[in-house]
Structure 1
Amino acid sequence: MGAGVPAAWQIQERLLTRIAAASGEQPDDVFVWWKNRTGRDAEYDELLHAAAPTPLGRKDLLREFFEPTDGEREAGLKVPSAAHRAIAQMMAEGLVRIVVTLNFDLLIETALRDLGIEPTVVSTAADAAGMEPLHAQRHLIWHLHGDYTNPEMLNTPDELRTYPAHIGLRLDEVFDQYGLLVVGWSARWDSALIAALARCSSRRYPTFWLDRFPLNGDAAKLAKARDATVVIKDAGEWLPMVTEACGAIKHLETDPLTTAGAIATVKRDLSFGRIPVGAHDLLLKEVQRIRELQAFSTNEDIWRSLSYHDRIPAIEDELELWAALIATLAYWGNARTDDWWISSAAHLADVPTFAGSSDANNALKVPAIFALYAGGVAAVAAGRWTTVVRLLTDIPVLNPFSGQRSPAAALYKPDDVYPHTRWPSRALFGLLRPVLSDAAGLGVLVEEAWEQFEYLSYALDLARHTEAKAVPFPYVRVDDDRTDSGREVVPVVSAAVRSRSALLDELNAHVDNNRYANFAAALDAADARIGAAVEDAERRSIPMGRAVRLPGGRRFAPIAGESQ
């Protein structure tokens, strides 16, 4: 399983080299030399028996092939591979309890011990006779043919032709009462094991057969007889993926509604390169669940029965999974998954406007605003700029000012749902930051991505603004750009956004040319407005009649509660 332990043919080659050297010869091709000498192709068992006639001699001979030197250990050779560690992890999690191995090495035991688990190891016929019942085993490693530390290793065809009766009975129990995962077994040499597997007629649990190459011969016959699912993959790649997938499923089975469990499953589906059908279905379920919330009801009688102050928190409390799911798909997904979550957001953005309180009407925008910001910030963090542009310019909703449809990103703003908070965008950031950072896994990327999304959204609103709705200032940090002509306050993220020429070109198509020639000009206007507003706000904060030094360095602009 890719651990640097030599394969049988490599051991053959070394054994043949030794046999030839003992005869005083150094052939270029030891395999041809052996066939010319004996008239037969070299067979592993025959060579091993010739080089070391006794079991103890074979043990000593094989030691060098399985125990790493210091140099080999540092190079990662003859140590547990990704496949060994995946099997050990499955045993640690209770997914696998019994390993029957034909290998002489102790790599699975080493991988288990690295996890702090001491396995039960069975290496001899006597061990097998005295071991506990299989149903009582938790971490059993059964070396069916022995291991290299034990002189009772089974190597030759005679030794592999039959097993003691009590071992045959235990094998019958394994094959009858447990599911089976076969990893890289050729079913060529092990006559007794082939017979044991063939005589098991029950199919209580499924069989999976993993190999790097298509099965043939007895292996193909056995797999067909057991109705096995054959997987042609590398064990070092496939087994770790299976381990992760099983862990995610187990997490969901423990609490299928937890955000962490659902997001773990979605990430694994995406990482496997397959269509994440589960994520699609979960999105639809979330849309339906949110639609059925009393606080989100679009029934006018129910809408009028709830106060604005009760409605907002009640909706917010139900949106963690919704926001985390969208952020995960926006960060890790593709154009197909973008279609799913953007259309889901559009469905929740399509809400009526009732006569009465604008605050109560705006409360119905909360799920869509969460989706816009969770998806937008995550897409920025991933550098998925086409998705960012789509989110800022798509999702048409009815514009109550013009009677036409406008992009939701132009009309659904944090100040709509937090109008009585001095920092509406900061309030939303406080709610979404744990979801984006922890649940969706964006970590430290969240803050800068948030600012870039806010800054882009603000500049685009200026570039296309034709409605009566004011353009709220973004929640961004500013810094001082000092030149010979004086101090200029600019958004910290301005330079990073301007460096993306392809993004600016894509946004040019959405600029009202009666206002600005292109999106770069809109960014110039955004910088100028933000800088002027910051300087004005900071000067107004200085007490009359006192000489106070103006703020400097990177800081959040004290203008988020104002609009222009």
Structure 2
Amino acid sequence: MDNKLLPLSFSVEANKGVYALLLGSGISYSSGIPTGWGILNELCRRIMKLNGEEEENAIKWYQEKYDKPALYDEVIEMLARTSSERQGLLKEFFEPTEEDIEEKRKLPTEAHHAIAQLVKEGYIRVIVTTNFDRLLEQALDELSVQYQTLYHESDIDGMKPLAHSECTILKIHGDYRDTRFKNVTDELQQYSESLTELLQRIFDEYGIITSGWSAEWDTALRDTIKSVKGRRYSWYWHSFTKELNSKAQDLVSFRDGNIIVDSEGADHFFKQLLENVQSISEIKKANPESLQLKIQKFKKHLNNGYEMGISELITNETKIVLEYFNTINFNESASIEVLNQRIQEIKDRTKTLATLVYILANNVCNVGQERILIETLERLTLNKYNSGTPRLLDLQKIPLQVILYCSGIALTKNENYETLDKIFVKPRVRDHLNNHWDFATYTAPSNGLHDLFSFLYSAHRYYLPVEEFIHSYLKDVLLESQLMFDVVEYDIFYDLFEFLRSIKCRHLGKGYQFYSGRFGYKHDKRHIESLLKEGSLNKEWKVLALFNYDYDDFKKAFTKLVDDFQGSYKYNINGLMDFYEEASTS
């Protein structure tokens, strides 16, 4: 088995519904159903026999006899005039006899069953096939999977949108029971406009896994693939041998595709893919139980004041996060699909560390525990790899942002602004290329991550793509572990932390490093108004720990934040200054 199957398996599991299949006759080979070319050859042989002649190459004989190419539909019509006769003629090639059933011929193969299971579990939703047979439909029926089958131009006009269908099977050469066939020779130079547009959309919007298709005869399909210039997701080509024919190799090169060699055939390939995907999913499902055990152990150490145990658990989880980056090939292409796969893996490995850090920050009560928080942030600044594809290298910065937010949100919620001030300024940068930077500069979203997530979220056009990612991820982490009561509570303390971070950066003279958080463009700012009102009424306001305990320093920084937003169509916090001044004078 080719070692490229493993990254494909991780990608399929992490990106449900992103991959479509392109299947040829090789997928049904082990069932005993002949290929379209094989059927054409047999029909030409029968015509040759009726003419009382005998040649080794029946298709060549047909072409010489009738002085024209052997086209599938014309050859069938010579042997069967009516639609019902044509169905009867083809039935023997596709439908099993009792003997076939006993010998398990002309029945769905292991590949068909594996594909059907991938569909049922939501990993595959679109299948393009050149096959006439209905083995795939039979396998889906056995699992009670709903699907739509498109095998004629008229079907496309009334089709359900791909995104709204549990599964769509596009049979580009037709279905044997319909008999409105497309020719299987290379005479078919182009498809109808509606079929071409649908195929172009699929090849542009989905990653493609190809199996059992040689690309040798399908001129129109090859041309349609080459008409799509987009490279949103990777293409994988399952091959039985290391050497592809020239036309297939040309398509792989055009699509920058990955060849996966499995000489044991489509049955083995799809069975392995299914098993890998299911195993990865099961491993993920097992994590919550182990996470709960770690949370219980961690809380016990906190309650007992066992600082060494606290440090060991945090250190071990930090190592798990950092060691993951040793597994990445930083020189591979940074497609959206690859980046999403890597980010999902980072999220999975960072989840436990994020949870434990939040608990620690929410309960920190001495200098030793503060030191663990600061030390963890410092360790995460060590970007070990500095050579390769920039967007892949920037992935190393994600855990640091996650842990900074976990610490900050918990400390804000617990009103521990003294420790919050320390995590803003105390950590030292260990990245050997940028160790002269201060922590606020190093953790700026503009330091790589803004470009990365702008690329990933280009369709959403977020103002603050990094902050949107962190907000979504930590919401799931903290609510799932029941460390936040609900989404409303989470949003309140998330916004307050980003608000304080924005002002703190301006206090440090680095407002450009954290321009704004999500609060800047949100209409509801009542929770921030409540914080400001508390400050206007209380001269011992705890927030002042972030500003040298100096009220004037806070007001200067806050004023700078408001001034920075003047004239911005994206952000609006003018009302906050008005509210603050009114509260101060009342």
- TM-score interval, smaller chain: 0.3 to 0.5
Largest Rg, 1 or 2:
1
Task: Give the TM-score of the pair, scaled to structure 1.
Answer: 0.43
